Copies of this chain bind each other. A is one copy, B any other.
Amino acid sequence: MKLPQEVEIIEVCPRDGFQNIKTPIPAETKIEIIDKLVGCGFKWIEATSFVHPKAIPQMADAAQVLQTVKEKHAGKVSFIALAPNLFGAQRAIEAGADAITFVISASEKHNLENTKQTIEQSVAALTEVCKIKGDCKVRLAVATAFDCPFAGKVEPGQVISLIEAGLAAGADDIVLADTIGTAAPLQMEALLKPLTQKYSQLSFILHIHDTQGMGLANVVTALSLGVTRFETAAFGLGGCPFAPGAAGNIATEDLVNMLHKMDIGTGLNYEKILQVAHCIQAKLGIPPMGHLARIAACQG
């Protein structure tokens, strides 16, 4: 098995995780958890999402959260904020985001559901975002890169078209998301193999949901194809509010545990991540998610 020596993990729990919690989480709690995540050694943390508060009320404090953690941890950690449109991206840049995740679905139906825009409209917005980005990096997140909850299987060609449009618009990075967590390793390979060959200059970021238990199997497949950047969420929180059937992300502690067992470096402190997972569980009062947190709950 050919494996990389180092992997970069981008922690997305404060955005992808918290946005799926119905009960309001105080900004102070979010900031406290981000502080703890900084202590784990992450270089990139997706801190929040600049979406309309009517769509996702949990993210109404986006500017406050981002500005506070930026002030506290500037220079040590880079913070990402999600934006679904130009207005959100403007707000994120004003609040000091180091990078923006600009989400466009490879599936037209999902893009309409998720952003109320056609893919063409979203790409036009991305082009505008890239014009105003300044030092802020723009990451095109290709949602439903494998399967769409409304349209079924997404063909690699649809993903490639969107990547082409994103690169032409000026995106710095490409995130490939299995939004609903239904891709099996063979489907992972069917997309990643042509992509990594076609775009050898790019280092794709993989964002996998663990709905059907195939998350780590997909990571191993991706590692063997040369992918070295992954987005996961501490405690396995996450989902997509507009994708029925989506479950949490791969739990960061589960991924780090596996990678370290395979002698793949992450620069992260596994024990501290597990502590954050337990802290999230206690603070949010939700049942344990992710494998290691569940085992700890059974034993403890």
Interface residues in chain A, defined as those with a beta carbon under 8 Å from any beta carbon in chain B: 1, 3, 182, 184-187, 189, 210-217, 219-221, 244-245, 247, 250-251, 254, 257-258, 261-263, 290-292, 294-295, 298-299
* List of B residues within 8 angstroms of A251 by Cβ: 213
Bound-state CA distance A1–B294 (Å) is 32
* List of B residues within 8 angstroms of A291 by Cβ: 210-213, 247
4 extra interchain contacts, Cβ-Cβ under 8 A, other than A212-B295, A213-B216, A247-B294?
A: A3-B186, A185-B258, A186-B263, A244-B299
CB distance from A166 to the nearest CB of B (A): 28
CB distance from A64 to the nearest CB of B (A): 31
Interface of chain A: mostly helix, strand, loop or mixed: helix
Q: Are the CB atoms of B262 and A184 closer together than 8 Å?
A: yes
* List of B residues within 8 angstroms of A258 by Cβ: 184-185, 212-214, 217
Bound-state CA distance A197–B20 (Å) is 48
Q: Which residue of B lies closest to A239 (CB)?
A: B298
* List of B residues within 8 angstroms of A1 by Cβ: 185-186, 189, 221
List 4 tightest A-B contacts by C-beta distance, closest first. A213-B291, A184-B261, A217-B217, A216-B217
* List of B residues within 8 angstroms of A257 by Cβ: 212
Q: Are the CB atoms of B216 and A214 closer together than 8 Å?
A: yes
CB distance from A144 to the nearest CB of B (A): 16
Bound-state CA distance A292–B247 (Å) is 10
CB < 8 Å neighbour of A245 from B186, B189, B210, B295:
B295
